[in-house]
Chain A
């Protein structure tokens, strides 16, 4: 009954590979996000989708491509992985409107590029 679930939780891969992280939410929310947490624990938004439409796209290399097949899913595909991509990636969701609405996070996907 996990609200926001993402897989895999841990991923170790070599430079140059392509990998995907999947995310699903069962909260009925309209908006989903990807955040990146670096080695110093700093959290920064990467993307946001609202009803399958991209609404936030921060300065992220175009090797990162989000895909939202429906409003309950937001997957993150990363091409040509680099060492600097090693981080924890958090998926999140929230109701569409209202800045007071809580954003709910998944448990994170720990990506290590070697």
Chain B
């Protein structure tokens, strides 16, 4: 079956540091890949996505490139801010039987950014 593996957190960084959160996946077909973010006490928001190999998703200074050869979709940001403190979820979506198509999530990585 499909699965997503993320690096375990928490990840603690100082403001303006470089961020990488690793994500690898296992899928039988050609999934689309997503990063969602959950700020404290809030719901899930889409951060970025990529729908085919070598696509780069980007938003709010975050980037991730769909690497089919390494089955990875690592999240990066050049300079984090305190306001980026949240839980980040990597997810994939692959076509199921009929029209069934669900998101499979990784376990989430908590990011804490300090001054």
Q: Decide: A50 near B44, CB < 8 A? Known: A42-B105, A99-B32.
A: no
CB distance from B88 to the nearest CB of A (A): 11
Report chain A residues within 8 Å CB of B43.
Answer: 90, 105-108
Inter-chain contact A56/B96, CB cutoff 8 Å? yes
Q: Is A27 an interface residue (CB 8 A)?
A: no
Per the CB 8 Å criterion, the residue count for chain A at the interface is: 26
CB distance from A10 to the nearest CB of B (A): 10
In the complex, chain B residues 80-105 whose Cβ is within 8 Å of any chain A Cβ:
87, 89, 93-96, 98-103, 105
CB distance from B80 to the nearest CB of A (A): 20
Per the CB 8 Å criterion, the residue count for chain B at the interface is: 28
Q: Is B42 an interface residue (CB 8 A)?
A: yes
> When chains A and B are docked, how far (Å) is the Cα of A94 from the Cα of B80?
30
Q: Is B22 an interface residue (CB 8 A)?
A: no
Which residues on A are within 8 Å of B, measured CB to CB? 31, 33, 35, 40-45, 48, 50, 55-56, 90, 92, 96-97, 99-100, 102-108
